Amino acid sequence: MAKFLTNREENYAQWYNDLVIKADLAENSAVRGCMVIKPYGFAIWEKIQAELDRMFKATGHVNAYFPLFIPKSFFSKEAKHVEGFAKECAIVTHYRLKKDENGKGVIVDPTSKLEEELIIRPTSETIIWNSYKNWIHSYRDLPILINQWGNVVRWEMRTRLFIRTAEFLWQEGHTAHATREEAIEETVRMINIYAEFAENFMALPVIKGYKSENERFAGAIDTYAIEAIMQDGKALQAGTSHFLGQNFAKAFDVQFTDKTGKLDYVWATSWGLSTRTIGALIMAHSDNHGLVLPPRLAPIQVVIIPIFKNSVQLEQISEVALKIRKKLEAKSITVKFDDRDNNTPGWKFADYELKGVPVRIAIGPRDIQNGTVEIARRDTLKKETVTVDTAISQISHILDEIQGNIFRKALEFKKENTLYVDKWEDFVNILDNQGGFIMAHWDGSPETEEKIKEETKATIRCIPFDSPEEDGKCIYSGKPSKRRVLFARSY
Amino acid sequence: MAKFLTNREENYAQWYNDLVIKADLAENSAVRGCMVIKPYGFAIWEKIQAELDRMFKATGHVNAYFPLFIPKSFFSKEAKHVEGFAKECAIVTHYRLKKDENGKGVIVDPTSKLEEELIIRPTSETIIWNSYKNWIHSYRDLPILINQWGNVVRWEMRTRLFIRTAEFLWQEGHTAHATREEAIEETVRMINIYAEFAENFMALPVIKGYKSENERFAGAIDTYAIEAIMQDGKALQAGTSHFLGQNFAKAFDVQFTDKTGKLDYVWATSWGLSTRTIGALIMAHSDNHGLVLPPRLAPIQVVIIPIFKNSVQLEQISEVALKIRKKLEAKSITVKFDDRDNNTPGWKFADYELKGVPVRIAIGPRDIQNGTVEIARRDTLKKETVTVDTAISQISHILDEIQGNIFRKALEFKKENTLYVDKWEDFVNILDNQGGFIMAHWDGSPETEEKIKEETKATIRCIPFDSPEEDGKCIYSGKPSKRRVLFARSY
């Protein structure tokens, strides 16, 4: 299997696409820009959902569901918001098909034209704040801490599986607060949850920071993001949390009576993480053999493969395999015993490597005699023969070790590829020849950022929360700067 | 709270609507026919999802995700399918908005017209079978057992919260098989799972049966349904499972090589259950005090309400309450301790009755002295004072008893309201004056069914699987019949 993958070093983009297809994660659909998430890819999303949902609920959030459709007039109420999304939205204009009188099959019935067009939500601030208007009257109705799991549509022209698709799945949190401070606290809390999730579950080290004005969410006062580095040195934004101020409350006239009896507009946040994180997961860890999945998000954590020449051997091996599976499942480890007889063990080895299963246990006739099994780790590709009992007692530990090892490797890569640059010439050279995260000074103006983007395709990924104050000169304009910001080309 | 509900006996439809709104389950949105599912309502849907998903996976199914959009040409490929859904679908025709040059805000950019219109999925057979075409080549690729959780849109003209909305949430299973027998077996398996779920979790007795030709899913060879009776004597279809034969395989040219090397079209099923089941849950069990929720689907199973006059009392009560909560949570019981001080205990009692919380524990100062608590059951509204230890040890049992009691009550109601009728006059009278399920003979012709519907608004809900062979005469035409079928007016 693996040999059919394009070499990662030769063509990273093609390697990625091959991998997504051949590991059976997703494929392009017949609808422009929309993907089909296949069962193996969707199982990863289910794991992501389960963990995030647990984290959201542990911090007091509840789920709800708002309409897919947004009336055009709502969509237009917040000026920057509509400006940001107007150019890429799917628009429903009719609600009925009919038989063509000229026999050309089925056509849109012109008499079913809607009075007001409906936009398929690209994000739900407007339809949600229109509802919150009726829910919020007093400070007693606050905070509202709601999350929604669902699909959204942004009519992207250049798409890539998981990373950028016209329709994608995500969660969007929309919270309402009585004070500015509380809303900012929530915005920070959620970017921290995303970072914690990325590092502990996706094994993905991230940089948390503020977005520059140019890169902010349309309608936000402030956007915080987590940025991760991919193996080709490009950045990928894996989650964002927005402080919306009173913008949407003002657009939808959502006021409340505070404790002193005074009327004020409600403070808002929103935050989202989408199926594009699956793309990050793939790009950050995988190799020329295929996927490398962190055990905590792997749909199958251990695969057991029997090596046999006849049914007597298979029977003996199955007995041991089923015993191991039972013991591991009792420890909440997900195990697959692949006893199909239509593929060779070698084919299966390659296939589960391609699919990134963290641990492979192989059992052959000699193992049965010796009371042993062979354990192979996907991250290091190292093999070891151990007794059945050792395997059973050690697998949890090995899975933890793999999780840690993948994270450390990614952390090391990020460290090596984060460069502190002070000369424009170096800045350009690094971007053109090796890529990576560049920490450089910036004069703080949107114009400079725009020019840097035009000349190098690099943008400010974020202004890291932990970037220390440091006097310096802007990498482009030479004007004074107080701290370094993170530049990179990005997905 | 409860006094604001319309009386169920006076106006059942209004009682239902009041209940959905006042129990904070859902509300109408600003988008015609679309609802907002509020956190409390959505928590019920999450419980439903968790149980069904577990049952699907236990029977070998996996989840996946297919596009929201269906190209018009795909939608039209299966003739009966398009005929069934063409009159009620949302159609995307453009993909960009722009500023109006005449200053009238934002308008649809006419230059963004799509070459081919996209239909928002009302159901996904067509887009899924177009994908299966590439996935299936040999019998080794079969069966495919996929389920999808998502939203669909059917442009209904008359809507009602949960029961019938333009957008709704559901799951849709789409399976592919090598033989007719295997596909039929799957169709039966899934209607059985729905029935098991309805009876064991929703506490809703159902009748399983075949749909008549008039009521079949557009594109199916056979539709099986589960039908439940509501308290007003109307029927509600709570889940359907379709044997699709080779219809969609033929429409999308999906052929496979069987074990003998022969090419054949693939056999299909599809099956779905939606948020309308929440409507059934409400209508079947609730009363003039509000919701009555079966404990297995209740977001809050036990609420603890302190009765106190000062903070010292609250402190003493909290200590006991938190101990009880901890012990119950250890048994996987969901407990809410409502110690808010902005509402009276009486208000809270009424509110949790309205919300259908199965068990209420009240603790007052005298209880603290006596080491007791008061337990109230939502189903019977009976109260009892017991020791704290008894409460802790008995709550699981009480919840099981409530679950069983709600089911038995519904079963009794169904039995009392299922009538065997042989005269047309009685048939009409019963429908007009008392409603209910009517078991009557039918000559098997669509024309007769249509006439009965025109004259009485009753339809054949299903031909029950367990309806015994019995010679009789059609209730309408007098022609010979071999078995009784189930008639009712329906939601």
Sorting pLDDT into bands at 50, 70 and 90, what band is A449? very high
Answer whether A105's CB lies under 8 Å from A97's CB: no
Query: How many angstroms separate the CA atoms of A231 and A9, rounded?
Result: 10
**Which residues in chain A are closer than 8 Å to B117, comparing Cβ atoms?**
108
Nearest to A39 among B30, B37, B64 (CB): B64
Residue B62, chain A, CB below 8 Å: the answer is: yes
Among A397, A430, A448, the domain boundary falls at: A397
Please indicate whether, in this complex, the C-beta atoms of A42 and B63 are within 8 angstroms of each other: yes
Q: Which of B383, B398, B394 is nearest to B349 (CA)?
A: B383
Residue pair B292/B208 in contact by the 8 Å Cβ criterion = no
Q: The CATH number of the domain where B483 resides is what?
A: 3.30.110.30
Using only the alpha carbons of chain B, give its radius of gyration: 26
Confidence class of residue B3 from pLDDT cuts 50, 70 and 90? low
A92: nearest CB among B73, B74, B92: B92
Cα of B75 to nearest chain A Cα, Å: 9
Per-residue model confidence (pLDDT) at position B103: 77
Q: Which of residues 468-487 of B touch A (CB under 8 A)?
A: none
Q: Which structure tokens are listed for A400? A: 């933890």
For residue B121, give Cα distances in angstroms to A292, B150, B166, B273: 35, 10, 12, 16
pLDDT, position A1:
45
Q: Report the C-alpha gap between A129 and A146 in whole angstroms.
A: 12
Tens digit of each residue's pLDDT (9 = 90 or more) over A199-244: 999 999 999 999 999 999 999 999 999 999 999 999 999 999 999 9
CB count in 10 Å sphere of residue B80: 13
Compute φ and ψ for A64, nearest 5 degrees.
-155, 180
The CA distance from B53 to B33, in Å, is 28
Residues B281 and B192 in one domain: yes
Shortest CA distance from A147: residue in chain B: B39
State mean pLDDT over B343-369. 97
Tell me: cis bond preceding A143? Omega within 30 of 0 counts: yes
Are A265 and A146 in the same domain?
yes
Q: Note whether A488 and A459 are within 8 A (CB).
A: yes
Nearest residue of B to residue A86, measured between CA atoms: B97
pLDDT in tens, A36-85: 999 999 999 999 999 999 999 999 999 999 999 999 999 989 889 899 99
The residue whose two tokens read 């913008």 is A247
A65 touches chain B (CB under 8 A): yes
- pLDDT tens for A149-178 read 999 999 988 999 999 999 999 999 999 999
Q: How close does chain A come to B471, measured CA to CA in Å? A: 43
pLDDT, tens digit, 9 for 90 and up, residues B19-28: 999 999 999 9
pLDDT band at B381 (very low <50, low <70, confident <90, very high): very high
Could you report the per-residue pLDDT of A179-194, keeping only the tens digit for each? 999 999 999 999 999 9
Amino acid B469: pLDDT: 95
Nearest by Cα to B317 from B334, B337, B346: B337
Kindly report the nearest CA distance between residue B319 and chain A, in angstroms.
Answer: 22
- From the list B346, B341, B360, the residue with the least C-alpha distance to B300 is B360
Q: Alpha helices of B330-460 — where are they, by DSSP H?
A: 345-354, 365-370, 388-416, 424-433, 446-456
| Interface list for B 107-166 with A (CB within 8 A) | 108, 117-120, 127, 130-131, 134, 140, 146, 150-151, 153, 155
Whether A278 and A308 share a structural domain: no
| Interaxial angle between packed helices B39-58 and B180-200, expressed in degrees from 0 to 180 and rounded to the nearest 10 | 140
> Would residue B293 count as lying in a domain?
no
Determine contact: A57 vs chain B, CB below 8 A: no
| Cα A307-A312-A318 angle, rounded to 5 deg | 55
pLDDT of residue A245: 98
Cβ within 8 Å, pair A64-B42: yes
For A155, nearest residue in chain B (alpha carbons)? B95
Same domain, B464 and B390: no
Residue count of chain A: 491
Interface of A with B in 398-427 (CB under 8 A): none
Residue type, A411: L
Residue A275 and residue A206 share a domain: yes
Residue B404 included in any domain:
no
Average pLDDT for chain B: 96
Rounded percentage of chain A residues whose pLDDT exceeds 70: 99
DSSP conformational letter for A111: G
Structural tokens at position A394: 């050690």
What would the mean pLDDT of B233-240 be, rounded to a whole number?
97
How far is the first Cα of chain B from the last one, in angstroms, to the nearest whole number?
27
Q: Closest Cα to residue A275, out of A15, A14, A35, A53?
A: A35
List b or e across B17-30, with b for residues whose CB sees 16 or more CB atoms inside 10 angstroms.
bbbbbbbebbbbbb
Q: Please report, to the nearest 10 degrees, the dihedral formed by the alpha carbons of residues A92, A94, A99, A105 taken in order.
A: -20
Looking at A224, A252, A285, the residue that finishes a domain is A285
Helical pair A424-433 and A446-456, crossing angle rounded to 10 deg? 50
B112 occurs within a structural domain: no
* Count of domains for chain B: 3
> Taking all residues of chain A, what is their mean pLDDT, rounded to a whole number?
96
Q: Is residue A329 part of a domain?
A: yes
Name chain B contacts of A119, Cβ cutoff 8 Å. 97
d(CA A82, CA A102): 40
> Cβ contacts of residue A362 below 8 Å, gap of 6+?
A304, A305, A306, A307, A345, A349, A373, A374, A376
- Is residue B293 within 8 Å of B44, Cβ to Cβ? yes
What pLDDT does residue B427 have? 98
Tell me what pLDDT residue B79 has. Answer: 85
A128-148 pLDDT, tens digit per residue, is 999 999 999 999 999 999 999
| CB contact B70 to A (< 8 Å) | yes
Please say if the pLDDT value at position A104 is more than 80: no
Determine, for residues A127 and B46 on separate chains, whether the beta-carbon distance falls below 8 Å.
no
Clarify whether residues A304 and A278 are in a common domain.
no
Tell me if A108 and B94 make a contact (CB, 8 A cut-off).
Answer: no
- pLDDT at position B1, please? 46
DSSP tag of A138 = B
**DSSP state string for A198-256:** HHHTS----EEEEPPGGGS-TT-SEEEEEEEE-TTS-EEEEEEEEEEETHHHHHTT-EE
Closest partner CB to B76 (pick from A87, A106, A169):
A106
Q: What are phi and psi of B207, to 5 degrees?
A: -110, 125
| Contact residues, chain A, for B46 at CB < 8 Å | 63
Single-letter amino acid code for the residue at B184: I
**Whether residue A230 sits in one domain with residue A193:** yes
Going from the C-alpha of B220 to that of each of A311, B156, B216, B365, the distances in angstroms are: 42, 21, 7, 64
Distance of alpha carbon B59 from alpha carbon A10, whole angstroms: 43
Give a yes or no: residue A97 inside a domain: no
Dihedral angle of Cα B117, B118, B119, B123, to the nearest 10 degrees? 140
Residues 264-303 of A with CB under 8 A from B: none
Chain A residues inside the 8 Å CB shell of B67: 29, 31, 34-36, 167
Of the residues B262, B285, B308, the one at which a domain ends: B285
Q: Do A96 and B65 touch (CB under 8 A)?
A: no
Q: Given a cut of 50, is residue A467 above it in pLDDT?
A: yes
Residues of B in contact with A152 (CB under 8 A): none
Which tens digits make up the pLDDT trace of B388-429? 999 999 999 999 999 999 999 999 999 999 999 999 999 999
Segment B456-480, tens digit of pLDDT: 999 999 999 999 999 999 999 999 9
Select the residue of B64, B106, B151 nearest A150 (Cβ to Cβ).
B151
Q: At residue A4, does pLDDT exceed 90?
A: no
Q: Where are the alpha helices (DSSP H) in A357-439?
A: 365-370, 388-416, 424-433
Q: How far apart are CA B277 and CA B281, in angstroms?
A: 6
B86 touches chain A (CB under 8 A): yes
Asked if the C-beta of B74 comes within 8 angstroms of chain A's C-beta atoms, the answer is yes
Rounded CA gap, A417 and A430, in Å?
10
- Domain of B14: which CATH number? 3.30.930.10
User: Could you report how far apart the first and last alpha carbons of chain A are, in Å?
Assistant: 27
Name the pLDDT band for A3 (thresholds 50, 70, 90): low
Residues A324-329: contacts with CB under 8 Å, at least 24 apart: A324/A361, A324/A373, A324/A388, A324/A391, A324/A392, A327/A392, A328/A302, A328/A392, A328/A395
* B62 to A43: CB separation less than 8 angstroms, yes or no: yes
Whole-angstrom Cα distance, residue A467 to residue A208? 10
Residue B36 to chain A, least CA–CA distance (Å): 5
Indicate if B392 and B422 belong to the same structural domain.
no
Residue A411 resides in a domain: no
User: Within a domain: residue A54?
Assistant: yes
Do residues A169 and A151 lie in contact, with contact meaning Cβ atoms separated by under 8 Å? yes
Cα(A163)–Cα(B123) distance, integer angstroms: 26
Q: Are residues A188 and A56 in the same domain?
A: yes
Same structural domain, A466 and A338: no
What residue type is B456 in one-letter code? T
pLDDT of residue A157: 86
Task: Name the residue among B440, B450, B435, B448 with its Cα closest to residue B489.
Answer: B435
Omega of the bond leading into B365 within 30 degrees of 0 (cis) = no
Domain that holds residue A20: 2-77+123-285
Within a domain: A96:
no
B57 bridge partner residues: none
User: DSSP class of residue B7?
Assistant: P
Same domain for B19 and B145, yes or no, is yes
pLDDT in tens, B296-322: 999 999 999 999 999 999 999 999 999
CB-CB under 8 Å, A105 with B97 = no
**Would an 8 Å CB–CB cutoff place B79 in contact with chain A?**
no
- A246 & A338 share domain: no
Residue B124 above 70 pLDDT?
A: yes
Q: Which two tokens stand for residue A304?
A: 């057991």
As given in the structure block, the two tokens for residue A261 are: 């009896």
Token pair recorded at residue B287: 């009363």
Q: Does B92 touch chain A (CB under 8 A)?
A: yes
Element (H, E) at B484: strand B480-488
Say if residues A106 and A76 touch (Cβ distance below 8 Å): no
Distance CA B223, CA A64 (A): 32
